[in-house]
Amino acid sequence: MGRQIERPMRQTGAVILAAALLWSVPALAQSANGPLDFLGNIFKSKSDQTGSTAPTQPASTGGAAQWSGEDGASGHPLMTASAIREAASNFDSCVASMWPDAARRNISQESFQRFTAGLTPDLRIMDLLDSQPEFTKSIWDYLDILVNDVRLAKGKEILAKYKPQFDATEKAYGVDRYVIAAIWGIESNYSTQMGDRSVLQSTATLACIGRRQNYFRDEFLSALEILHHGDLSPEQMRGSWAGAFGPTQFMPTAFKRYAVDADGDGRSNVVDDPADLIASTANNLKKDGWQSGQTWGFEVVVPKGFNYMLADRAKAMTLPQWEHLGLKRANGQAFPATSDKAYLLAPAGAEGPGFLMLQNFRVIMKYNPAEAYALAIGHFADRLRGGQPFVQAWPRQERELSRAERLELQQLLAQRGFYRGTPDGQFGGETREALRGFQASIGAPADGFASSAMLDRLRAQ
């Protein structure tokens, strides 16, 4: 499960997929249904998964990666090297200062002292919190990595092995088993890549050091609550650098909201107990608005000359309305009879496939707010169910822009009056809208896709 770190994070241990525009998603490191650790467990090195303490200076020998000792890329005052060192020197006092809040949560003093004794900051997390990838991956590259034959085979094994648990969960919550299995597979590669950092150490570090202290203070205290109640042990609560743990990557606060004791053993064990894991993940989706018996969306063929200004999450229409505009299912089948509204997603612009996204796609995005992630989950679930690969081709000839090129594109859009934000090389909705405005002004499809050709057009203006 995962959320971006720049907004309330949810759960996950993949990477804090800071969703960049054009559908390139930076391979950051943190998801956590909150942090975007989505894909983090796939791309990050083993040294970044350890829970060892990092000194304030880079290590000169091998072993776990250490803090760089440099200012963070965000430019936030709490991410300067001096601020990080100062906060680290005050770490013990910061942790101790949270005792009154812990007491208000009915955590005993004995538990507080036992679980916080010997805690030290893991400063390597500061580099991960503020990492700014030079290059990004395209959505088709991510889909290739996440939805592959090996993972599909393993997913089918999991579905067969735990069929009784999936049966019971589907009956109790009405959530599609294939979506749960897809989340399990993508978040942790079926429990083989869950991360090995101490959740308590990671959340304590982030609660006391860096630019997300307010958010992580709640995560740290929630982790203490879980340990105090005895649902999990410190050894079980190991995961991503952002604090996500378990096969489907729960943040501590998400565990509190959604974890259930499905097998009645008195503990909500989302780490080692398949019944609890499957049911808790389903409970999460159900409470986020999952519609039983409904799919997540449809791959569609978008007609030539289509007005891509309609490809907007805020511009939902019924399926018949989209059909009236010329959109058809890519597999040639008819749309189901439904009055549900969908929005059009064109992750690779006019040169790639389109998708009509229903309510359940929005629910998956609550699990992790990156559209690339949600598309991967939906597609993986369909493949586990026996569905086919996407029909239409991706524009694989397109290369992803470097961070310097993304920054330049924003600056050029700003110079021409289309972009009003602060250029930072991170693509989001504001950049996409600005690019659409420029594309419309030159008579190009206003699809918001930041190709190298579009950057060249901007340079030539």
3 state SS for 192-253: CCCCEEEHHHHHHHHHHCCCCHHHHHHHHHHHHHHHHHCCCCCCCCEECCCCCECCCCECHH
Q: Which amino acid is at 135?
A: F
The pLDDT, as a whole number, for residue 391 is 97
The pLDDT, as a whole number, for residue 65 is 74
Instruction: Decide: helix, strand or coil at residue 129.
Output: helix
What does the alpha-carbon distance between residue 347 and residue 23 come to, in Å, rounded to a whole number?
Answer: 6
Q: What is the pLDDT of residues 296-351, one digit of tens each?
A: 999 999 999 999 999 999 999 999 999 999 999 999 999 997 788 999 999 999 99
The pLDDT, as a whole number, for residue 135 is 67
Which are the contacts of 43, defined by CB distance < 8 A and separation ≥ 6?
A: 15, 27, 29
The pLDDT, as a whole number, for residue 136 is 77
What are the sequence ranges of the domains in the chain?
Answer: 403-460
Which candidate, 275, 226, 9, places its Cα nearest to that of 107? Answer: 226
The residue among 8 and 124 whose pLDDT is bigger is 124
| pLDDT of 262 strictly over 60 | yes
pLDDT band at 216; cut points 50, 70, 90? very high
The answer to whether residues 226 and 238 touch, using CB atoms and an 8 Å cutoff, is no
The region, left, alpha or beta by phi > 0 then psi within -120 to 50, assigned to residue 236 is: alpha
What does the alpha-carbon distance between residue 330 and residue 333 come to, in Å, rounded to a whole number?
Answer: 8
The residue among 433 and 27 whose pLDDT is bigger is 433
Percentage of the chain modeled with pLDDT above 70:
86
Q: What mean pLDDT do residues 373-377 have?
A: 96
Which candidate, 343, 301, 303, places its Cα nearest to that of 319? Answer: 343
The answer to whether residues 342 and 317 touch, using CB atoms and an 8 Å cutoff, is yes
Q: What mean pLDDT do residues 143-154 have?
A: 96
Which candidate, 128, 245, 140, places its Cα nearest to that of 187? Answer: 245
Q: What is the pLDDT of residues 25-79, one digit of tens each?
A: 333 233 334 433 444 433 333 333 333 333 333 333 334 579 999 999 889 999 9
